[in-house]
Copies of this chain bind each other. A is one copy, B any other.
Amino acid sequence: MKRVTLEEVARVAGVSRATASRVVNGAGTVDEVLRHAVERAISSTGYLPNIAARSLVTRRADAIGLVLPDEHRMLGDPHLGSVVSGVTRVVRPRGIHLVLMMTGPGTREQALSDLRCGRLDGVILVHTDPADPVPGQLIRAGLPVVLAGRPWQPMPITYVDVNQSAGGALAGERLLSLGCRRIATITGPQDMPTGRDRLRGFLDVVPDAVVVHGDFTRQAGMAAAHELIARCPDVDGVFAASDLMATGAIPVLHRSGRKVPDDVAVVGFDDSSAALTCEPELTTVRQPIADMAEEMARQLLRQIADRTAPVTSVVFEPSLVVRSSG
């Protein structure tokens, strides 16, 4: 079960190492009889070609990177599993490795250097910081990259997103259709496109909503619910712009004596695993994360295959998932 070497293959086939190597690397200049002998030796010995050697010929690492936001954010992120399985579904059948990189000191620089020196063929970047220079550097270097989510400022980069403002509108329509009259929203960060767009779409439908700001975390949902109860005690409908914020807000509403959904209807956003561990289970706006991640992987492979492929952005439509909270 030890790794079989090319020398052994050559010995079994009765050819020189150079000939065995030419067969393994697909050179067309090998005599037919010798080629068959080498192929038989490859299968009888269980030889697997050294990929590092093949990489030298193809100039491909057959590996892509998934660069995630910082550790702290990711640990609480209920989407990670879906993103990984979506990307895996596309790359696994092609024998391409998915390399996971978490943002930390030097990670993005490492991704850039891995791309330049051929350890990675491309990266999917989960973009969280508008000041991050890496997307711009990747574009200027002509390196294959796909962003998860719309970029902060317009730039010629391929991205995959969900129609965030349409999702905000779906949440507003749901609360109106339930007959809510005193409607509030707990927003995401307003310096992120996701946070801004969800709020904009929601306000298009419920222009007089009470607005309390949050940052997508559970803690922010708790703090916002306290603020909301103080500012607007007769609130009867809440759109939390992330499921995590909804799971923070609901216990606070319960403790203040307001039952969800009887006294206050709550609609979340994401349809992440948090929506199901919530009590009551969350009515929420669904982002098809695994499908979006599959599309990111496909877009990246397209760029790797053709460096001149045009920039493409794919925007998925959200849908409302009705459960018990609103």
Contacts and interface: CB of A to CB of B under 8 A. Distances in A.
Interface string A115-135: 011110000000000000000
Interface string A80-112: 111011001000100101111110101100100
Contact of A102 (B61, B75, B85, B254): B85
Contact of A2 (B92, B100, B119, B142): B142
Given A75-B82, A84-B100, A48 B113 contact: yes
B63 A97 contact: yes
Nearest to A138: B1
B100 A98 contact: yes
A256 interface: no
B276 A250 contact: no
A247 interface: yes
A75 B78 CA distance: 8
Given A63-B97, A92-B104, A113-B48, A118 B3 contact: yes
A78 B247 CA distance: 16
Interface stretch (A7-15, A50-58, A186-194, A297-305): A50-58
Nearest to A247: B277
B99 A97 contact: yes
A94 to B, nearest CB: 11
A180 interface: no
Contact of A92 (B46, B97, B107): B107
Given A3-B118, A107-B92, A56 B52 contact: yes
Contacts of A48: 113, 116-117
A74 interface: yes
B277 A254 contact: no
A261 interface: no
Interface in A254-275: 254, 273-274
Contacts of A118: 3, 50-52
Contact of A49 (B4, B81, B117, B251): B117
A244 to B, nearest CB: 8
Of listed A77, A119, A140, residue having the most chain B CB within 10 A: A119
A16 to B, nearest CB: 19
B74 A273 contact: no
A99 B102 contact: no
A80 B56 CA distance: 34
A31 to B, nearest CB: 26
A41 to B, nearest CB: 16
A317 interface: no
Given A51-B118, A81-B80, A82-B75, A98 B99 contact: yes
27 contacts: A1-B142, A48-B113, A48-B116, A52-B53, A52-B55, A62-B119, A63-B99, A66-B100, A71-B85, A71-B88, A74-B84, A75-B81, A80-B80, A84-B100, A92-B101, A95-B110, A97-B97, A97-B119, A98-B100, A99-B99, A218-B276, A244-B277, A247-B277, A250-B279, A254-B279, A274-B277, A279-B279
